[in-house]
Amino acid sequence: MASDHTRSAILAAAERLYADRGFGDVTLRDIVAEANVNLAAVNYHFGSKDELIAELFVTRSIATNRERLHELKVAEEQGGGRAPIEVILRALVGPTLRGCLGPENQRSTVARFMIRASIESVPPIRRIKNREIDHLRKFVSAMRRSLPDRSDVDIYWGLNFALAMAHHTIRESERLTKLSEGKCDLDDVEDVVARVVSVATMALTAGRTETKPPARALARDAR
């Protein structure tokens, strides 16, 4: 039986580098340098670069999904099988936003890696990615239970927009900071989460719900 030390060193180094610089310009030689192992180690332990990426993506996406689904499950159990839409949306976008924004030192490598994977659609990942749809379906179901009057189409669009706002804000956080001359504080992660959840909730409930609290109030409540 092997020590596994080299294997996990490679995985960790690759995850870190991919999260930081994207798949495009990280070479095998970069990874082995970061991991302090020999160049041939990657092919020995993983077979090929693509298989390394695939394993990275599979393990990390399982972990991420488990976290999001756990948060969702807890919420639904508390509500007797039906969670408020805000809570569902929070479970959907909260972990990713928290892992990618905020103070540098508390960002999670996993979250940043997963965002990269969702942005740069590199072949080995694209092949696996169908599973994510199954994962999203669980959120669709929860949203349906939460908003039984809402049409499916509206649910799908609401989900799409929620993910859109979260992912785009992460990807373009630098530009938003520059554009707003620092007025938009991307380090205040909970405010960002609250804003995304608030707008997504409005998208999903407009024209149906009787009470419609203003966005800022919602954002404040959420802290």
CA distance 37 to 42: 9
φ, ψ (nearest 5 deg) of residue 48: -160, 170
Does residue 153 interact with DNA by CB under 7 A? no
* Structure token digits, residue 20: 């930081």
Distances (CA, A) of 92 to 118, 143, 144: 15, 11, 14
Helices (H), 36-84: 40-46, 49-78
Single out the residue of 11, 14, 19, 37 in contact with DNA (rule: CB under 7 A): 37
**Site for a second copy contains 41 (CB under 8 A):** no
By CB under 8 A, the residues from 176 to 205 that bind a second copy are 176, 178-180, 183-184, 195-196, 198-199, 202-203
Q: CA nearest 21: which of 96, 85, 113?
A: 113
Amino acid at 148: P
140 binds, among DNA, a second copy, none (CB under 5 to 8 A by kind): a second copy
What's the rounded Cα separation, in Å, for the pair 16 and 30? 11
CB of 177 to a second copy, least distance (A): 10
Q: Least CB distance from residue 15 to DNA, whole Å? A: 15
Taking the C-alpha atoms of residue 11 and residue 41, their distance in angstroms, rounded to an integer, is 11
Nearer to DNA, 55 or 86 (CB): 55
Find which of DNA, a second copy, none residue 176 binds, CB within 5 to 8 Å per kind. a second copy
Integer Rg of the chain from CA = 19
Segment 45 to 74, residues that bind DNA, using CB under 7 A: 45, 48-50
Q: Which stretch binds a second copy (CB under 8 A): 10-18, 71-79, 94-102, 162-170?
A: 162-170
* Closest CB 44 distance from a second copy, rounded Å: 27
Q: Which two tokens stand for residue 168?
A: 């785009």
Residues that bind a second copy (CB under 8 A): 24, 119-120, 133, 136-137, 140, 152-154, 156-157, 159-161, 163-165, 167-169, 172, 175-176, 178-180, 183-184, 195-196, 198-199, 202-203, 206-208, 212-217
